[in-house]
Amino acid sequence: MATREVSIASSVGLHARPASLFVQAATATGLPVTIAKAGGNPVDARSILMVMALGAKHGEVVTLSADGEGADAALDSLVALLSRDLDAE
């Protein structure tokens, strides 16, 4: 299983538009992807409700995990997405 850690760059954290863009990208990978805050349980990154309920705020570090062929590349693209301020775009 591939994992990556990334700090949330969006000023409102993973809420509303940034969460929606992230969930769309996670779903597009075609892989089971999870996201977790430090010390928290991983949730399905393909579920908008679970991602928003995570309550990941600006600057918090989250851990992404995926399993399957292409998992490393998929996680690299998701890390790049979360590293941008999606609110400003």
The residues that are catalytic are 15
Helix, strand, coil % over all residues of the chain, rounded to 5:
35, 20, 45
User: Can you tell me the distance from the alpha carbon of 60 to that of 43, in angstroms, rounded to the nearest whole number?
Assistant: 16
Helix axes 17-28, 71-82, angle to 10 degrees: 170
